[in-house]
Amino acid sequence: MADLIIETVDLVKRFGKFTAVDGLSLEVPAGSIYGFLGPNGAGKTTTMRMLTTLTRPTSGSARVNGFSVTDDQIAVRRSIGYMPDEFGVYEDLRVWEYLDFFAACYDIAEGERKKLINDLLALVDLAHKREDMVDKLSRGMKQRLSLARTLAHDPAVLILDEPASGLDPRARIEIRELMVELARMGKTIFFSTHILADVENICSHIGIVEAGKLVMQGSMSELKARLMPHREIFVTVKDDTAAESARAIALTFGGVIAAEVLEPKGGRSRVRVDYQGDDDGVAALNQTLTTSGVAILGFQEEVQNLESVFMRVTHGIVG
Ligand SMILES: Nc1ncnc2c1ncn2[C@@H]1O[C@H](COP(=O)(O)OP(=O)(O)O)[C@@H](O)[C@H]1O
Ligand SMILES: [Mg+2]
C-alpha cells in the first residue's frame, strides 16, 4: 500500500539469545494516530529504537516515510520526531534554551529560531514558562516540552514512546489532546502505551504487541467489528411472562442469533438478545417487540468497549 508512512516486514531484534521483537509487520497509514499497545517488556521501545535508526534490526526491514532505516538513516531521521521514554537531565537550561539547543541541532538558522520557539511553546501551552528552568517543570510540562522539541524540524511522523506514562489524569488528557491537535495539523502519530485507556478514544489505528509479536492490528472500527461478532441487547420487561414473549418474538427476528431470559434484576425480568446487524436493525427489533404488545421498560445495548475486546484477544478466545 502506497499510503503507509511506517511499514515493517518481519522485523526482528535479538539481544544475544533473547528475541525482543519477533517478526513484527507493522502498517501505519499516513495521517493516522496509531496506538502501539502492549504490556511492559513486549518490545515497544526496541521497535521504536529500530524505527528511529538508534538500533539496527537483526533481520527484516522497516521503512519510514518511504526510507529504509538501514539504508537511508539520514532521510529517516529528518522525517521523524522522536520522544524517548526518558526525558533525560537538562540542568541549568531555561525552557527556551532547551528548544533553541535542539533547533540548532536541526540546523535551523538562528534568525528563525526565536519565532519557531515561540510558536512551539504556544502550541504546547508553555509560553508562560519560557524563562523557567527545565528541571523545575512538572512531569506533564516536561512531556509537553519534549513533544515541542520533536516538532522543531517539522517532521511528518512523530514516534512517541509512552508519552502519557507517569502523568496525573489531567496531564494525560492534555497530552492526548495535544496528539489529536498534531494529527489535525497533518502529522502521523505512532505512540506506545501499556495502558488501554490511552488508545480507546483518540486512536484511528491500533496494534497490540505481546512478547515481541503482533497479536493484531488494524483500524479501530475494523478491530471492534472483527472482535464483536454480535451485539448484546438487554431488554427489561415487567415479569417473566413478558420476558418469555419478548424472547420468542426476538427469536423470529432476522439477525437474532440467540435470546435468553435472565435472572430478574431489581425485581424486573430481563432478556438478553444476541443480534448480528446494524443500528437500524437494533431500532427495528425494538419496534417489533413494542408493536407485538410486549411492554418494554428498558432496551439497552451493552456497549462493548475496547477493554472487553482486549481481554478477549489476549485470552485467545476470539471469534
Ligand atoms: N539492550 C538490551 N539488551 C538486552 N535485553 C534488552 C535490551 N533492550 C531491551 N531488552 C529486553 O527486550 C524486551 C523488550 O523490551 P522493551 O522493548 O523495552 O519493551 P517495552 O518497551 O514494550 O516495555 C525486554 O525483555 C527487555 O528486557
Ligand atoms: Mg518501553
Domains of the chain, earliest start first: 4-225 (3.40.50.300), 229-303 (3.30.70.260)
Q: What percentage of the chain exceeds 90 in pLDDT? A: 76
At residue 314, the pLDDT reads 63
Pairing of strands 27-29, 157-160: unpaired
Q: What is the pLDDT of residues 66-94, one digit of tens each?
A: 999 999 999 999 999 999 998 777 778 99
Nearest ligand to the C-alpha atom of residue 40: 1
Site to probe by mutation for ligand 1, drawn from 36, 46, 54 as the one with most ligand atoms within 8 Å of Cβ, is: 46
182-234 pLDDT, tens per residue? 999 999 999 999 888 888 889 999 999 999 999 889 998 887 766 666 788 99
Enter the C-alpha cell of residue 218.
488494524
Sheet holding 213-219, edge to edge: 80-83, 157-160, 188-193, 33-37, 205-210, 213-219
- pLDDT reading at 12 higher than 90: yes
Task: Report the predicted TM-score, pTM, of the whole model to 2 decimal places.
Answer: 0.79
Give the tens place of pLDDT for each residue, 36-69: 999 899 999 999 999 999 999 999 999 999 999 9
Angle at 184 between CA 183 and CA 189, to 5 degrees: 5
Contact 1, 27 (CB under 8 A): yes
**Atom 10 of ligand 1, nearest CA residue:** 20
pLDDT tens digits, 102-113: 999 988 999 999
Using the mean position of ligand 2's atoms as its centre, give its distance from the Cα of residue 207 in Å. 15
Q: What residue owns the CA closest to ligand 1's atom 16?
A: 43
Largest CA distance in the chain: 80
- Kindly report the number of other CB atoms within 10 A of residue 289's CB atom: 23
What is the sign of the dihedral through the CA atoms of 290, 292, 297 and 301?
negative
Q: Ligand 2 mean position to 162 CA, how many Å?
A: 7
Which pairing describes strands 213-219 and 296-301: parallel, antiparallel, or unpaired?
unpaired
- Ligand 1 neighbours (beta carbon < 6 A): 15, 18, 20, 38, 40-46
